[in-house]
Structure 1
């Protein structure tokens, strides 16, 4: 008991370091559980909204299912990155918690405190000197990759999990190892999949090393392997990892990799060092692992100590061959098969099956974090062992001062984002009285066409969550691809028939508007524009309790109109995209590819049209001579043509008198394409693109 009392101040020291660092970098406002102002954009918004829906949902099994946030697109709390561990802890008290309530500020505080605690424990394997451990702990806490993550990917601030795994892996006489590793693996699984992968690699290396060192028998190693694998699988199941089926596999491996110069590239996190050209390109932010000027300076001192040959470093390294191999493997994965050193890049091929597996963790640059902290630990080890404690403290203190002051260039921006003026709600464009009346009538708010990260998803999801409604207007890390396709098909059938679910309020994007507009039941359904949203409210006109002050508009008036002589382009961000009804891929900088055997463009014309001129490209990979195209106007055949050159195609479509009359009577011009020779790039060995391509539409001119 006396020893415990004596050690208490010593054990409180790293916790104090973590708390002080938290208030320096983050500030106090994030700790206010009702302050959600700093969560009102991008990734933090979906982290918070996932929790806001989860707290209102009934208990389920698995516990982590969150069906109201995403509907058919996905229903696991893990895929809104809402930190399932804390969500599970707070949900039993949801009825007692205020509205709103966020736990992410507490999470940040825990991240700093636990980062300091495990850094303290890790340094305790090298030195018992209080000053050395304290200053070294502070250097670990001011690690730029951890702090940089906090305003964007909240759960990824938990770098203490990596330090904890290194501590367990390096501890020479770890007691209750199954309990320690089991708790760490379970926590990682319930916080973020990337941390689970990192911790699991180090655990497997430690488990294998324990067997070869005769510390574990084959039987005990097998029991630990099977037992902890079962534990992790159960945690993943409960967190909702398996709720999206094949949707867990994405793409982008190689795009979000680490650059070989990332350790010394400040990425605007230094006043002294300048950014290296070519390092922080698109996707390279995932590989941000800048050491900081203080640690770079201390690294020079560490190299000097190593050259003196009195540190015992080589002997220590020789005792951890499997851990070294695990870190080497993580390094190779973080670099991906698209290796970059500054602006110099090269790619080596990998089998498609390997790429598919790697795409589960496509942001491969993150996998360097265990190596990053192993490098910091190595620097501190060499400085401590090469010098007297007093000299080591002086060198490390100077490095800490440089680290804190120079990285202020980066963490100052983090603090500004997290210290915005507090607010208990976000500004919303949905201010018309209609919305409150609609919330009382419907159970769901559906964005069509269904998609992840739909336009205005944050405002729609915030409205739905505040009124206890389910929605598919969400932003998810992964979604159920099979159910998404089924949802698209069901939505297409609804728009074609004009029959919609009576319990759902529909908000239409530009393409959905063009597909639905000619089949609206104007006798029963409200179809109008409210606060910038295109709204379809089934059964609204026959609802005696619904607000009827909202004006009905002629659905056709919402379709874009083109004047004679007007040239419309279909590039990304252009107004022409609002005319692409269906059968089109996402727009690109040059224009838009057709996707599938048919495609339709729709628009209104205030005067008779005599012809249309199209500027187009054709998808003609080697061995594919031409693209045959049949063009119709409002169902009437207009032109058969064949494109035999890839670019520079001009297509003039004549509009007969009969066509003009049909356009006039129907109130809209439908330009319909049929593609007999559409093919996929994948068929011709051009990457993995499986889209069925034929025509690339660049512009349209009305004559």
Structure 2
């Protein structure tokens, strides 16, 4: 009787379910996100652990403050010449463009990332209701279950750190449009709406676009394989092709294509156990997360469905009627079934594990797979289809008990994700906390300068990216130009060029920030070659022009330690104690030694005052099968040349020292660096050890 009363009028039922889901979503959004952030206020400093969130905001701050220009999405003061495309900072270009239109009326709104997150939290349950009703289940309680399951979906909550990927309501909307577009007798309207949605999703995040593209492609497949009707297939295929063409054109015009991903396919994958393994569960807090993490990167494939959804799926498939209905639905939606299979195959990648058990390990890589390096995410639409399908089947095979099962499922899902929801709320409400004293000091130090240079650029060495984000964010707040940026993809025009890392004349508006293990040597170079003033604060060295007042709060820059004479220095990671020797162009030390990763790496040697001429002995080998001709230069003058072979050997060079500095910076020019396999580095010579012998 209760259900009948609630479904007397279809229009009243529709209004009720959408209103309740909207109110629930809005309540969740306002509970999680501070209103000040929703209105566009920015954090006062970059908090550790929130680097992706800060990355998105940086892109929007720069973009909103500059005039309209072409290329449309490029931040011209961010990584100046060539600039940075905000698509590469995951700054949600579609939203940012809309914000820029209204920005003259709301000049204090400097970021819309939190507004977008609030929108995602609001629309997630609404679109889940839309997807379930589109499949054919229109009763109130199932709709509310879908809304709560979607809002408490662990995969959705887990993505809070990566704002653009929280737009999973788009996937639910796409699934709903698929069901409407494949109904018998349906017109072309839903599939064309889905095609438009797919094209626009590129401007939110390419990963989401690939997922909605799979759902879009499922429409013509279903119409062809199920109905054998060219009359319905052709319009759907045309909509799919039009969307693909639109993506190519928009992506080309806005500079989406050509970025290098850095690899990772097969590493950032989904574990087969992940949908059922209760990682981050409040109901099972003692379950070890590591058991469903076989590669070290399968956190990107986190796919736990939640206890409530698993209960519904288990009950739905517990009897033969449920299995039979599942088979029937698979036949009715064969295109969606094939799309889900394809997305699952991409998600598990070519290195398939169940827990830590290898199921299939191959070297096969599908075309374009490296651009989907975090392939484990591709399971998201499959998970939502499972959730929607599970509710639909349950309500038909258990006519008497399904309300109790759904109520139990809602309770379980709510409790299971309690910790994750509280974590989201806590993180968002701590963003506006005042900066610590060290953060305030660095912000004050940077404020007088209009140009910020960070060396090494992140494009050359991203090991300190988390630390460097605080400087990038401070530069964004004061709208200062900066020479580097942390991006999701590296464009060729922004690639590392070691010549740009060398000291150059400084003007009064420029602040140089040196980070990393070799910052002391670089500070010496700036001081020696450009007469810059350098000092230390926290873990960085700051340099300014000679005619600029020395910034307050800086301690004198440390001198490089003197190298021992006649003692072999091993470059193997655990034993290496003289990182400043590797001045530039070297990779991180490994267990055996270190590779050069540019054609012109350099070594810095600081020797005792009594040494005026020295003999350098380098134990090296070249890349396998590729001898390397190496020229050795001191201050631009060649002092030696070697033919370095693949077999380990010693190579020697004599050089003088200048009495003023007792130091030498030796540049090695390597003839033919190569890439080996999937290694993105440009490898030339391997340095195992070195020894300096004083000659007089």
User: 1:631: how far off?
Assistant: 7.3
User: 1:181: how far off?
Assistant: 1.5
The answer to whether the Cα contact below 8 Å between 2:628 and 2:670 also exists between their aligned partners in 1 is: yes
2:458 counterpart residue number = 451
Matched, 1:340 2:365: no
Matched, 1:437 2:439: no
Q: Deviations over 1:587-635 (max 9, x none)?
A: 33554212456543213234435978978563563x57x8888878887
The answer to whether the Cα contact below 8 Å between 1:527 and 1:534 also exists between their aligned partners in 2 is: no
2:6 counterpart residue number = none
Q: How many residue pairs are counted as aligned between the two chains? A: 664
Question: Unaligned regions of 5+ residues in structure 2, if any?
Answer: 1-8
Equivalent residue for 1:294, pick from 286, 292, 308: 308
CA distance in 2, matches of 1:644, 1:489: 25
Equivalent residue for 1:48, pick from 47, 57, 63: 57
CA distance in 1, matches of 2:70, 2:642: 57
Equivalent residue for 1:618, pick from 621, 624, 638: 621
What's the RMSD between the two structures over aligned residues? 4.0
Q: Deviations over 1:400-443 (max 9, x none)?
A: 2112212334443333322326347787365486644333xxxx
Flag the 1:399–1:512 CA change in 2: closer, same or farther, 3 A.
Answer: same
- What SS class does the counterpart of residue 324 from structure 1 fall into? helix
Q: Deviations over 1:361-385 (max 9, x none)?
A: 1111111111111111222222111
Matched, 1:662 2:657: yes
- What SS class does the counterpart of residue 474 from structure 1 fall into? coil
CA distance in 2, matches of 1:604, 1:653: 18
Flag the 1:675–1:141 CA change in 2: closer, same or farther, 3 A.
Answer: closer
Flag the 1:695–1:294 CA change in 2: closer, same or farther, 3 A.
Answer: same
CA distance in 1, matches of 2:36, 2:411: 26
User: 1:521: how far off?
Assistant: 7.8
CA distance in 1, matches of 2:298, 2:673: 33
1:57-136 mapped onto 2 (5 Å cutoff): 57-72=66-81, 74-97=83-106, 99=108, 101-124=110-133, 125-136=135-146
1:212-361 mapped onto 2 (5 Å cutoff): 213=227, 214=229, 216=231, 220-221=235-236, 223-233=238-248, 235-236=250-251, 240-242=254-256, 246-272=258-284, 274-275=287-288, 278-280=291-293, 281-305=295-319, 307-308=320-321, 312-345=325-358, 346-350=360-364, 354-355=366-367, 357-361=368-372
Question: Unaligned regions of 5+ residues in structure 1, if any?
Answer: none
- What SS class does the counterpart of residue 259 from structure 1 fall into? coil
2:397 counterpart residue number = 386
Matched, 1:176 2:171: no
User: 1:188: how far off?
Assistant: 1.4
Flag the 1:579–1:411 CA change in 2: closer, same or farther, 3 A.
Answer: farther
Q: Deviations over 1:503-522 (max 9, x none)?
A: 75433446587468557687
2:683 counterpart residue number = 692
2:154 counterpart residue number = 144
2:532 counterpart residue number = 526
Matched, 1:185 2:198: yes
1:6-21 mapped onto 2 (5 Å cutoff): 7-21=14-28
Flag the 1:560–1:391 CA change in 2: closer, same or farther, 3 A.
Answer: same
Flag the 1:613–1:297 CA change in 2: closer, same or farther, 3 A.
Answer: farther
CA distance in 2, matches of 1:616, 1:29: 59
User: 1:502: how far off?
Assistant: 8.3
Q: TM-score, normalised by structure 1?
A: 0.82
User: 1:675: how far off?
Assistant: 6.2
User: 1:24: how far off?
Assistant: 6.1
CA distance in 2, matches of 1:501, 1:595: 31
Matched, 1:363 2:363: no
The answer to whether the Cα contact below 8 Å between 1:603 and 1:670 also exists between their aligned partners in 2 is: yes
- What SS class does the counterpart of residue 535 from structure 2 fall into? strand
